[in-house]
A and B are shown apart, each in its own frame.
Chain A
Amino acid sequence: MSSSEIYDIIIIGGGVIGCSIARALCKYELKICLLEKEADIAMGTTKANSGVVHAGYAAERKFTKRNLCIRGNKLYSEAVKELNFPFKRMGSFVVAFKVEEIKLLEEIRKRGIEDGILDLELILEKQRIKRMEPNISDDIIGVLHAPSAGIVSPYEMTFALAQNAAMNSVKFFRSQEVIKIDHSDYIFTITTQRNEFKSLNVINCAGLYSAKISKMLGLDYFDITPRKGEYVLFDRNTIQLNKILFPTPTKISKGILVCPTFHGNAFAGPNAQNITDIEDTSTTTAGLKEVLEGAKKIVPNLPLRASIRNFAGLRAVPSTYDFIIDNTDIYGFINVAGILSPGLTSSYAIAEKVIDFLELLGVELKVKEDYNPYRPKPERFTDFSKKELDKKIKEDSSWGRIICRCETISEKEILNAIQGPIGATTIDGVKFRCRAGMGRCQSGFCRPRVMEILSREMKLPYQAITKKGDDTNILIAKTKDLLLKEIIKKEIQK
């Protein structure tokens, strides 16, 4: 990269927010790049959250996140048509066990309808509720139904956004941690551990690290504290949920939900734990217990024995408790910080807002003639009919080799994940793009095969393949290497 190249816009952070902004801007004649510190995009908060596209009734009216969420939800319908990511409007229930909770739900409903969520409905007939969601506890007395709520695979959506942006010539640089930003003569010079980048405008979408980035330019008007949410994920087809199930919210959180995923798993979580270490995504015994106990109140027949994974995500909680989206005092530097929940839902609306800010900054927004808003749906072995499958394998035999047996993922899908735009370079990268290793055996069977394919495609030794970038190698040495080392050491000592 020659440092003489000057971008119109540099986006810092490749989470759902950075990528949805990149995608919204890729239709204009602008020179844009995105910098991500991890070996892959979508590996921060974006990969560990509930994946609920909220209807938007939850936040208080004083917060901008309320309106952005309501608008963001609506924008999903258009986006999914263009980008083909896994998304389904299945509707959510907020459940009430007590009369006071019903009163609260009625208030929430009224305000929601006033703000444009017209289909909110309070259902009090237990039989009807049970018909709509047979797994729900017998102890509930009513629910608030929000038909427009949905579930999305957040990382698959983020890959789709990024791929479409890349198709429209946004450049993505991974393993580029921004460590310094200078601003002089209207040009930002961004230093990463490897390179230097120059740009006229910078958009800070660094999630948990957004306060740190902002402070690099002396802008310290907010802080971010991490709040941990832990989850337990269950095997596919062990419980069939029709609705996203929330408890009645408290002041602090939306509570522990029980929720299906797009791919047919179910999960329970998150709890809410304020912590100090921004890197601490560990799960805890107490946390997992809290999650399962909370979830069982709503769904007593949760298949506890079928858990396949636990994980935690960190909410980037800003000192203002609201999204911080603004043109800062430094001309050309936009903060999109503290995007806590419902950030995923709001992402398309946030991107719209950023475009408004760029207009205010005088950035010329001319639509490209060859702008292509469509990202084709990734082909999946399991989506094919028998006839199609036979044809596909004859066209390309790598369709005929199943690598991940739990999710039935073929070699071709793994090759596509690696070779596609912004391809996977790590085991996690393959897993989050095509689900190889996400099933009940948690890669026990497919890992050696995935490593073999990565090593072949990337022309790297087997041993150099990592889980998620630097310092995460799976294997440490060839067999006998440690023994040989010992022998050599002894020889030298002699």
Chain B
Amino acid sequence: MKTYNTDVTIIGGGAAGLAAAIEVNKGGKEVLILERGIELGGILMQCIHNGFGIKEFNKELTGPEYAQKFINEVNQLNIPYKLDTIVIEITLDKKIYAVNKIEGLIEINSKTIILAMGCRERTRGAINVPGFRPAGIFTAGQAQRFVNIEGYLPGKNIVILGSGDIGMIMARRLTWEGCNVKAVVEIQPYVSGLLRNEIQCLEDYGIPLITNYSLTKIHGKNRVKGVTISKVDRNFDRIIGSDQFIECDTLLLSVGLIPENELTRIAGAEISSMGGPIVDNNLETTLEGVFACGNVLQVHDLVDLVTAESKRAGRNAIEYINKRYKKKLKGIEKIHLSAGHNINYVKPDNICLGEILGEIIINFRVKNPDRRIQINIKDETNKTLYKKKKSYVIPSEMIELKINLNNMELNPKCNGLIVEVIPQLEPLIE
């Protein structure tokens, strides 16, 4: 068995892994990227639409263009990576086991690990869509792969369940291919993806968006023959008599993404209820020296934020090696950050005190859309330590706050902070 030693091992060579690797290399540490695909770039390689890089490069790139910038840099810096190499296990003492066809089983010993495994799509089974189980049912990302990478069409007459970004992008992509996208069906009263995709991918092509409807039956034993959709009430229960049949040969599902954390679980890190690992403000998981960034931590809608987050993970890994490796800092006090009113999840889960803090970044998503709101951070005594106004919030947009704990009047005995989104108390002055 071949053994490697390095400072930092990065699992996953997508946007997150690439940015983290470059940062680690620039900080003078050794790094190795392990990627199970046959090329670097991750999910970006099948996202041939534009809309990437507005924050990072100030221009609109396609997914592969965005990825290539990082791949080029990885090559220029001679950062080692292994392709077609899948990590199968991370042990408690941070040994990584991976396999590939050429080397067989490999063992990697490293001082730190950065998890950057991305996410996977929710499936029909996860949302329990009833009906037959014929050919012609795809997750939107899988269909995207078939069209953009393999060069094949999944079908001709198409219904898309769920208005996630990938679904809307595929609605447009398939329309360009001469397919007939009959409808995008969404159970919520609003679109679950970004507004710009609703306009540019659906409205501009006259693709009907049917909200407050769910799929109640898939027809066809061999190939999809159609779907029945039904209007739902506030509890998402089907309203009797509202059934509608749509003839189609293909059904795409765009019903959400789930961080891919099987390895994280094997390694023994704690996972939060939203699927990503529990991390502190250094992006360190509950396993010492194991960091997480990108979609494996939280599902991002903008790659630019993935890049920024992953650079932070890279820097923190270096920091960890320089300062803390081998002389464990014991008993760091942590305060817990939790989700309050209208908050779906918040990252990080914990904030470490007693370190030079400065600015920390908080990400969260709301549960429901709202207008004229106020974001509050409160302590356990209900004292508001931070507030910010915003004209609207929607679940599809991950919100990022930069806060400075040094500027806050933090009670020394404070154990927890709560983030909430509530209607504005005072009139909006902008």
Q: A residues within 8 Å of B by Cβ?
A: 232-233, 279, 281-285, 287-288, 305, 307-311, 386-387, 389-391, 393-394, 397-402, 405-406, 408, 440-442, 444-445, 447-448, 462-463, 466-468, 470-483, 485-486
How far, in angstroms, from A288 to B133 measured CA to CA in the complex?
15
Q: Which residues of chain A have C-beta atoms less than 8 A from B124's C-beta?
A: 309, 442
Give the contacts of B125-151 with A (CB-CB under 8 A): 125-126, 128, 130-136, 139, 141-142, 145-147, 149-151
Choose among B103, B132, B153 the residue that contacts A477 (Cβ–Cβ < 8 A).
Answer: B153
The answer to whether B100 and A441 touch across the interface, beta carbons within 8 angstroms, is: no
A442-B104 in contact (CB<8A): no
- Contact A441/B104 with A476-B156, A478-B153 known, Cβ cut-off 8 Å: no
- Is the pair B130, A284 in contact by a Cβ cutoff of 8 Å? yes
Residues of A within 8 A of B102 (CB): 397, 400
Question: Which of the candidate stretches B213-221, B279-287, B344-352, B400-408 sits at the interface with the other chain?
Answer: B213-221
A283 touching B249 by the CB < 8 A rule? no
B126 and A308 form a contact (CB under 8 A): yes
Residues of chain B within 8 A of A283, CB atoms compared: 130-131
Task: Verify A390–B105 contact, CB threshold 8 A.
Answer: yes
**Structural contact, A394 and B104, CB atoms closer than 8 A:** yes
The 3 A-B residue pairs whose C-beta atoms are closest, nearest first, are A482-B178, A309-B125, A393-B104
Instruction: Choose from B84, B128, B177 the contact partner of A307 (Cβ within 8 Å).
Output: B128
Judge whether B125 and A310 touch: CB under 8 Å: yes
CB-defined contacts of A485 to chain B, threshold 8 Å: 178
CA distance A387 to B104 in the complex (A): 10
How many whole Å from A338's CB to the nearest CB in chain B?
Answer: 23
- Of B101, B123, B135, B147, the residue contacting A473 (CB under 8 A) is B135
Chain A CB within 8 A of B334 CB: no
| A347–chain B nearest beta-carbon distance, Å | 25
Determine if B36 and A462 form an interchain contact, defined as CB atoms under 8 angstroms apart.
no
Partner of A308, one of B1, B123, B150, B216: B123
Quick one: which of A389, A391, A408, A442 contacts B125, CB cutoff 8 A? A442
What residues of B have a CB within 8 angstroms of the CB of A486 in the complex?
Answer: 178
Q: How far is the CA of A53 from the CA of B120 in the complex (A)?
A: 35
What B residues does A310 contact at CB under 8 A? 125, 128, 130
Pairs A–B under 8 Å by Cβ, sample size 26: A279-B221, A283-B130, A285-B238, A287-B130, A309-B123, A393-B105, A400-B100, A400-B104, A401-B101, A402-B88, A441-B121, A441-B123, A444-B121, A444-B142, A468-B135, A471-B222, A472-B134, A472-B135, A472-B223, A473-B135, A474-B135, A475-B146, A478-B152, A479-B153, A483-B178, A485-B178
Cβ contact within 8 Å between B139 and A444: yes
Looking at the assembled complex, report how far the CB atom of A407 sits from the nearest CB atom of chain B, in whole angstroms. 11
CB of A301, distance to nearest CB on chain B (Å): 15
Q: A444-B141, A471-B222 are in contact. Are A402 and B132 (CB under 8 A)?
A: no
A470 to B223, CA, bound (A): 10
* A261 to B429 CA separation, bound complex (whole angstroms): 60
Residue of B nearest to A481 (CB): B153
Q: Do residues A393 and B101 form an inter-chain contact, with CB atoms below 8 A?
A: yes
Whether the pair B142, A475 counts as a contact (CB closer than 8 A) is: no
* Residues of chain A with a CB closer than 8 A to B134's CB: 467, 472
Closest to B148 in A: A479
Assembly CA distance A473 to B250 (angstroms): 11
Alpha-carbon distance A281/B105, docked complex (angstroms)? 43
Would you call B133 and A311 a contact (CB within 8 A)? yes
Asked whether B86 is an interface residue with its Cβ less than 8 Å from the other chain, the reply is yes
Could you tell me the distance in whole angstroms from the C-beta of B66 to the nearest C-beta in chain A? 22
Q: List chain B residues, Cβ under 8 A from A467.
A: 134-135
- Distance of A476 Cα from B146 Cα, bound (Å): 11
Is B321 among interface residues, defined by CB-CB distance under 8 A?
no
A398 adjacent to B146 (CB under 8 Å): no
**Which residues in B have their C-beta under 8 angstroms from that of A386?**
1, 97, 105
Q: Within the assembled complex, what's the spacing in Å between the Cα atoms of A405 and B85?
A: 12
B177 adjacent to A390 (CB under 8 Å): no
Q: With A281-B132, A287-B130, A475-B152 in contact, do A405 and B123 touch (Cβ < 8 Å)?
A: no
Q: Which residue of A lies closest to B215 (CB)?
A: A285
Interface string of B169-182 (1 = CB under 8 A from A): 00000000111000
Q: Is B99 an interface residue (CB 8 A)?
A: yes
**Distance in angstroms between the alpha carbons of A479 and B174 in the assembled complex:** 9
Kindly list 5 other residue pairs between chains A and B, CB separation below 8 angstroms, not including A309-B123, A480-B177, A482-B178: A288-B128, A310-B130, A441-B120, A475-B152, A483-B178
From residue B232, how far is it (CB to closest CB) to chain A in Å? 11
Question: When chains A and B are docked, how far (Å) is the Cα of A289 from the Cα of B36?
Answer: 39
Residue of B nearest to A387 (CB): B1
Number of interface residues of B (CB under 8 A): 54
Whether A400 lies near B101 (C-beta < 8 A) is: yes
> Does B277 sit at the interface, judged by CB under 8 A?
no
By CB atoms of chain A within 10 A, which of B103, B149, B238, B249 has the most?
A: B103
Q: Look across to chain B and name the residue whose beta carbon is closest to the beta carbon of A310.
A: B128
Q: Which residues of B contact A481 (CB under 8 A)?
A: 153
CB of B155 within 8 A of chain A? yes
Per a CB cutoff under 8 Å, which of B104, B130, B142, B222 touches A285? B130
- Using known A-B contacts A393-B105, A475-B154, A480-B177, determine if residue A470 contacts B1 with beta carbons closer than 8 Å: no
User: Which of B36, B88, B124, B178 is packed against the most chain A CB atoms within 10 Å?
Assistant: B178
The CA-CA distance from A78 to B121 in the complex, in Å, is 43
* Min distance, Cβ B108 to any Cβ of chain A, angstroms: 13
Which B91-115 residues sit within 8 Å CB-CB of chain A? 97, 99-105
Taken together as a complex, chains A and B put the C-alpha atoms of A406 and B177 apart, in Å, by: 32
State in angstroms the CA–CA spacing of A339 and B121 once bound together: 39
Contact A390 B125 (CB under 8 A): no
A237 CB to closest chain B CB (Å) equals: 8
Chain B residues near A307: list those with CB within 8 A. 125-126, 128
Per the bound structure, the CA–CA distance linking A473 and B152 in Å amounts to: 12
In the complex the two chains form, what is the Cα distance from A94 to B130 in whole Å?
A: 29
- Give the complex CA separation of A389 and B99 in angstroms: 9
- Which residue of B101, B133, B153, B216 is within 8 Å of A398 (Cβ)? B101
* CA A279 to CA B134, docked complex, whole Å: 13
A477 and B152 contacting across the interface, CB-CB below 8 Å? yes
Q: Is the CB of B152 within 8 A of A288?
A: no
- How many whole Å from B14's CB to the nearest CB in chain A? 14
Indicate if the CB atoms of A447 and B142 lie closer than 8 Å: yes
Contact B88 A408 (CB under 8 A): yes
Q: Are B151 and A478 in contact (CB under 8 A)?
A: yes
Give every chain B residue within 8 A of A402 (Cβ-Cβ). Answer: 36, 86, 88, 99
A441 to B138, CA, bound (A): 11
Q: Is the CB of A389 within 8 A of B105?
A: yes
Inter-chain contact B123/A444, CB cutoff 8 Å: yes
A107 CB to closest chain B CB (Å) equals 37
Compute how far the CA of A287 lies from the CA of B216 in the bound complex, rounded to whole angstroms. Answer: 12
Q: How many Å lie between the Cα of A283 and that of B125 in the bound state?
A: 12
- CB of A442 within 8 A of CB of B86, answer no
A479 & B104 in contact (Cβ 8 Å cutoff): no
Taking the nearest CB of chain A, how far is it from the CB of B64, in angstroms? 16
When the two chains form the complex, which single residue of A282, A408, A445 contacts B218, counting CB atoms closer than 8 Å? A282
- Is there contact, CB below 8 Å, between A282 and B156? no
* Residues in A whose Cβ lies below 8 Å from that of B142: 444-445, 447-448
The residue of chain A having its C-beta at the shortest distance from the C-beta of B219 within the complex is: A282
Report yes or no: B141 in contact with A401, Cβ–Cβ below 8 A.
no
The residue from B128, B141, B145, B249 contacting A232, defined by CB atoms under 8 A apart:
B128
Q: Which residues on the B side are within 8 Å of A284 (C-beta)?
A: 130, 217
A interface footprint on B232-276 (CB within 8 Å = 1, 0 otherwise) = 000000100000000001000000000000100000000000000
Q: How far is the CB of A115 from chain B (nearest CB, A)?
A: 39
A-side contacts of B132, CB under 8 Å: 281-282
Q: Whole-angstrom distance between the alpha carbons of A335 and B207 in the complex?
A: 55
Q: Residues of B contacting A399 with CB < 8 Å?
A: 99
Complex-state Cα separation, A283 to B135, whole angstroms: 16
Report the bound CA distance from A309 to B131 in whole Å.
11
Among the listed B156, B216, B249, which residue makes an inter-chain contact with A482, where contact means beta carbons less than 8 Å apart? B156
In whole angstroms, what is the CA distance A429 to B141 when docked?
Answer: 24
Q: Which residue of A lies closest to B253 (CB)?
A: A444
Residues of A within 8 A of B99 (CB): 389, 393, 399-400, 402
When distances are taken between beta carbons in the complex, the residues of chain B under 8 Å from A393 are 99, 101, 104-105
